[in-house]
A and B are shown apart, each in its own frame.
Chain A
Amino acid sequence: MGDDPVARAVELRGVTMAYRARDGDYTAVSDVDLAVDRGRFVSVVGPTGCGKSTVLNAVAGLLPPAAGEVLIEGQPLRGLNRKAGYMFQQDGLLPWKTVLDNVAFGLQLRGTSKSERDELARDWITRVGLAGFEDSYPHQLSGGMRKRTAVAQTWIGDPEMLLMDEPFGALDVQTRQVMENELLTLWTGTEKTVLFVTHDLDEAISLSDEVVLLSAGPASRIVGTYPVDLPRPRNLLDIRTSPEFTEIYRAIWSDLRDEVMKTYERIG
């Protein structure tokens, strides 16, 4: 990791995030330091409810930190992060717009002409494998197809960085592997910075250059940062059985397991 601040797409400095609750404030994450270099694929993993989405919302500028600072390309973030595309954990598609209009939505907001944005949207719909579904409404699509639409909707605007919050978490295993593969294909060669949130360590390692582990909440912190030096391009179907993968997995899992156990102890 270079120390040159200009090379950093995202930097969190002592970020603490809190929610207003009835009985005082609830501190979701506390004192998080995180640096993501430009063009890197970085995953954030941690047990459910530890504050992964919260961190992503801080980077997106949707939720201002209670303490600390978010820097985007070296600049302190004020308001929304205009350089980022955000794929939300829940369904963010506009239910009253067709697939075509959903995908073209970002361009429409920028004032791109109808013919131009429709053409580009059709391209993207084909790229994510949804050709023929342009005029369908989101409720007519399966979960996987909605995610594909969301991918196209986010990527069509060509954002410099992508924030993805458990994008494939709700999909069945087969669909998920296909989508992971397609995501890597899409990303390869784009130089886009990706901040990818998942609770699935397998997924995190196989996709990323680096895995960041968050501790169990409340007031979770970063437990560790683990580089993933697996060669690219990667074949996701084979990578999981390679000895290097297993070694990295074991190293992170021993730490993650402790955090997961803490979460369970707290709940149970």
Chain B
Amino acid sequence: MSASVETTPETRTTGPVRRKPRRKRRPAVLITQIAVAVFVVLGWELCARAGIVDEFFFSKPSDIVSRTIDWFATGSIWEHLQITLVEAALALVIGGLLGLVIGFLLARVEFIAAVFDPYIKVLNALPRVVLAPIFLLWFGLGIWSKVAFGVTLVFFIVFFNTYQGVREVDRVVVDNARMLGAKEGQLVRHVLLPSALTWIFSSLHISVGFAIVGAVVGEYLGASKGVGYLISQAEGTFDTTGVFAGMFVLSAVVLVVDVAVNRVERYLLRWKPSQDNNFGGGQR
């Protein structure tokens, strides 16, 4: 992380705050991308109409689109979306805060780290999906079982990033701050926290993705509202169109959220040298 001060002639400076140049997609790539989408969607539609693929199992794009439009036109989708997003947001905030506090504690207090290290490893190794039914039992069918599930996913990401961020903070920066008069509390606020936040923000995509996954999977297993519930309902009645429409809405929402996260990240980490973080969407 620490940029070394190599021989950079004073003349070779970038002026104050130069914006990172937008990555330009070559038109050939864009055209091909559109062509692929058209080919797949059109192929699917035609095959379904011609009876080459069974509509019962695979539905067809025109039905999926009209179902989606229907959901939005009647407004029936909104309450489901809202529930899912609220669950994801709560999971993100609660899991994030827990991860931040506990990560800080373990990174700063050697004894606690030594004691809890094996437990953290065991918990993290646990496949989280098996927890979902237990949470349903503990927290009921409402939003809190989904939030709890999302928290278990988000917590570990934020925890590990906080731990790493505090641990790997530049020694020289810490010493410099101390020589300038920083006391322990000020050190946390001005040096350790910003360093940890760098790591946390860089993993925000993944955290947000996991929060949404947590909500949807939780709903899928048992709920009375939410996009996951919508999909599981459709599945229960062999309504493939409904399943695909649910997936379609979900992907669109994740995409929109991702763009927003990108914006937030770029703003919060504006002090960082621009590196090429050219992933289109969050990987999960």
Contact = CB atoms under 8 A, between A and B. Distances in A.
Contacts of B183: 109
Interface string A209-230: 0000000000000000000000
B175 interface: yes
B175 A62 contact: yes
A106 B194 contact: no
> For chain B, what secondary structure do more than half of its interface residues adopt (helix, strand, loop), or is it mixed?
loop
B9 A139 contact: no
Nearest to B180: A106
A139 B194 contact: no
Contact of A106 (B2, B12, B18, B181): B181
Interface centre among A84, A90, A133, A172 (most CB of B within 10 A): A90
Interface in A125-170: 132-133, 135-147, 153-154, 157, 170
Contact of A157 (B12, B173, B181): B181
A211 B18 CA distance: 43
A140 B194 CA distance: 18
B32 interface: no
Contacts of A105: 177, 180, 190
A171 interface: yes
Nearest to A179: B10
A147 B3 CA distance: 13
Given A106-B181, A135-B16, A170 B172 contact: no
Contacts of B8: 142-144, 172
Interface string B1-22: 1111111111111101110000
A132 B1 CA distance: 26
B154 to A, nearest CB: 23
A60 interface: yes
Contacts, number: 119
Contacts of A133: 16
Contact of B7 (A95, A96, A143): A143
Interface string A97-125: 11000000110011000000000000000
Contact of B14 (A82, A132, A140, A172): A140
B197 to A, nearest CB: 8
A75 interface: no
A94 B172 CA distance: 10
Interface string A60-81: 1010000000000000000010
Contacts of B10: 142-145, 172, 174-175
Interface in B233-258: none
A110 B182 CA distance: 8
A147 B10 CA distance: 11
Contacts of A47: none
Nearest to A63: B175
Given A132-B16, A140-B17, A109 B2 contact: no
Contacts of A82: 181
B51 interface: no
A92 interface: yes
B273 interface: yes
A85 interface: yes
A94 B173 contact: yes
A175 B17 CA distance: 23
A202 interface: no
B182 A109 contact: yes
Interface of A: 60, 62, 80, 82, 84-86, 88, 90-98, 105-106, 109-110, 132-133, 135-147, 153-154, 157, 170-172, 174-175
7 contacts: A62-B178, A91-B172, A95-B3, A140-B14, A146-B5, A153-B180, A172-B7
Interface of B: 1-14, 16-18, 172-173, 175-183, 186, 190-191, 194, 198, 270-273
The 10 closest A-B pairs by CB, nearest first: A92-B176, A106-B180, A144-B10, A139-B273, A137-B271, A143-B8, A86-B179, A143-B5, A170-B5, A109-B181
Given A60-B179, A109-B180, 10 more contacts: A62-B178, A80-B179, A92-B172, A92-B176, A97-B190, A140-B16, A140-B17, A142-B8, A142-B11, A175-B9
